A and B are shown apart, each in its own frame.
Chain A
Amino acid sequence: MTLAKRIIPCLDVDQGRVVKGVNFLNLRDAGDPVELAKRYGLEGADELTFLDISASVDARSTTLDVVRRTAEQVFIPLTVGGGIRTVDDVDQLLRAGADKISINTAAIKRPELINEIADRFGNQVLVLSVDARRAESESGFEVTTHGGRESAGLDALYWMQEAVTRGVGEILLNSMDADGTKTGYDIEMIRAARKEVCVPIIASGGAGKLEDFSAALDAGADALLAASVFHFGAFKIAEVKGFLSRAGYPVRE
C-alpha cells in the first residue's frame, strides 16, 4: 500500500490556447486546452495543471471558461495558476471547477495572500509556484519573476520555508535554468528543497528522457510535472509510468 508518484502534464494557456516555448520564449501552439486535458486524462495523468500565461486582463474570463469546460469532462484534480492576486480570484476559479490554485508573483509581492487563501479554503488548495534559478544567494538558488528574466531578490529555500509556515500545501518547484531544455530536472535544487520543506514537492522544468523522471524522484520529488515531452509526443504518460513501475517506483497504472 503506497502513495503513487504523480505524473502531471502542464498546459501553459495563452488566451485559450496551449503554448510551449523554451525558457519561456519562442512560444509554439500546442492545441486546445480542453481537448488536451481530456486526452491526458484518458492516457493516465494523475492531475492536470493549467498555467494562464496571458498578459491581458480580458483573458481571465477565457481561463474561467476553459477551467469550467475541463472540469465538466475530466475527473482528476485540476490545478490552475497565473495572475491570481486575491482571495476572490481563488473563489472564482474554485467555483469554475479548479481543485487547487497555484500562486507565484502575487505572493512574492504580498506574502499575506498565502495566509488569506489558506485560512479561507485550507492549505490543501494552495500550491506555491517557485521559479528558481542558480545564483549567488544563501542556498545557491534564488527566486525569479517575469518568467525567469528578473531576480526577486529572495533566496529560494528561505522563501519556500516561509510560504509553508504561512500555509501553502504543496510546492511546484520550477527550474528556470532547465525549463524547456529537456536536459533533465535540476536534481540538486530538488534535493535541497526536500531537506528543508515538509510539504509535497512537484518537480518541474527540464524533463527530456525517461531517466530524468526517476532521477527527480530519487532526489525527493513527490510528483513530476512536464509539458513539452507530452505535448509534442516525445513520450506518452503511460510510457513514463511503465518505465517508473519497472524501475520499482509506485505509480497508478
Chain B
Amino acid sequence: MIAILDYGSGNLRSAQRAFELTEQRVILASTAKEFLSADAFVVPGVGAFGACMSQLESIGGKEMVSEAVKSRKPIFGICVGMQILFTSGSEKGNHEGLGYFSGEVSQLTAPVLPHIGWNDVDTKSQLFDGVQNDKFYFVHSFAAKERVEGADIAWTTYGEKFIAAIERENIFATQFHPEKSGDAGAKLIKNWAKSI
C-alpha cells in the first residue's frame, strides 16, 4: 500500500490515480497513523515553499516524513515535495526545509517564468529505464541548482541547470510531476514501485 501525504496541497486525485497504475492500493493520509501504516510514501507539494512547509507543520507532517525516512521504506517527493527536502528555500522570504539534502532552493534565472511544460531530463539512473529520452512535465520557478554529491541523479536546463531528480537511500524525488507526465511519468512511477 502507498500513502500520499495529504496536507491540503492542491490536486491529489490525479496523483492517487497515477500511483494506482502500480497496482498497489493508494490512500490519501493526513494522520501519522494512516500515513506510516503504508509500505511506501508519496510527499506531494504545490504552491510556495514556505506555505507548503507551514501546511506540512500544521498536521505534524515534519515528524511523519522523518519517521518515513527512518523506516527505510521508499519515499517519493514531487515538485515542492522535493524542494522541502533541501536545507532551505528562498521563495517569498527565507524558509527552512527538512534538510535531507544540502542546498538552497532558489529562483531560476530565465527570461520567461514559471518554467511550464515538457522538458528533457539528463540522467543515467535505472529509475528512468525506458524513459531516458522522454520529456516530463514541469511547473515551477524555483529549483535546487547546486550539486548534491552522489544524489543528484538527473538534471534539466531551463535558463540554467537544476536538479530534476534526486535519490539517496530510500528517498527519491523529482522536480517535475510524474503524475502529469503521461506514459513517461507512469513508467517512472512503475520503475520506482519495484522497490516496494
Contact = CB atoms under 8 A, between A and B. Distances in A.
Q: Which bracket fits the contact residues of A?
A: 35 or more
Contacts of A71: 11, 13-14, 17
Contacts of A1: 119-120, 122, 156-157
Nearest to A220: B112
A216 to B, nearest CB: 15
Contact of B113 (A75, A76, A199): A199
Interface stretch (A90-98, A141-149, A203-211): A90-98
Contact of A122 (B17, B48, B116, B179): B48
Interface string A196-219: 001110000000000000000000
B117 A222 contact: yes
- DSSP majority for the B interface? mixed
Contacts of A95: 11, 13
A46 B139 CA distance: 13
A198 B118 contact: no
Contacts of B158: 3
A4 interface: yes
A2 B47 contact: no
B120 A2 contact: yes
A75 B46 contact: no
Contacts of A120: 47
Nearest to B122: A1
A166 interface: no
28 contacts: A1-B120, A3-B115, A3-B118, A3-B138, A3-B158, A4-B117, A4-B118, A4-B119, A46-B117, A75-B179, A75-B182, A75-B183, A76-B137, A76-B182, A94-B10, A94-B11, A95-B13, A96-B13, A120-B47, A121-B47, A122-B47, A124-B46, A124-B114, A124-B140, A125-B47, A199-B113, A200-B116, A252-B118
B186 A169 contact: no
Interface in A89-148: 94-99, 120-125
B114 A123 contact: yes
Interface residues of B, number: 38
Interface of A: 1-6, 41, 46, 68, 71-73, 75-77, 94-99, 120-125, 169-170, 198-200, 222-223, 252
A124 B9 CA distance: 13
Contacts of A223: 117
A127 B183 CA distance: 25
- DSSP majority for the A interface? loop
Given A72-B13, A121-B47, A198-B112, A77 B120 contact: no
B79 to A, nearest CB: 9
B18 interface: yes
A125 B115 CA distance: 12
A121 B119 contact: no
Contact of B46 (A72, A73, A121, A252): A121
B106 to A, nearest CB: 16
Interface in B146-196: 156-158, 177, 179-183, 185-186
Contacts of B73: none
Given A68-B13, A122-B47, A3 B140 contact: no
Interface in B115-139: 115-120, 122, 135, 137-139
A253 to B, nearest CB: 9
Contacts of A170: 114, 116
A76 B179 CA distance: 8
A75 B11 contact: no
B93 interface: no
Nearest to B111: A198
B180 A75 contact: yes
A246 B90 CA distance: 40
Contacts of B14: 71-72, 75, 97, 99
Contact of A72 (B17, B119, B182): B17
B141 interface: yes
B51 interface: yes
A73 B118 CA distance: 19
A76 to B, nearest CB: 5
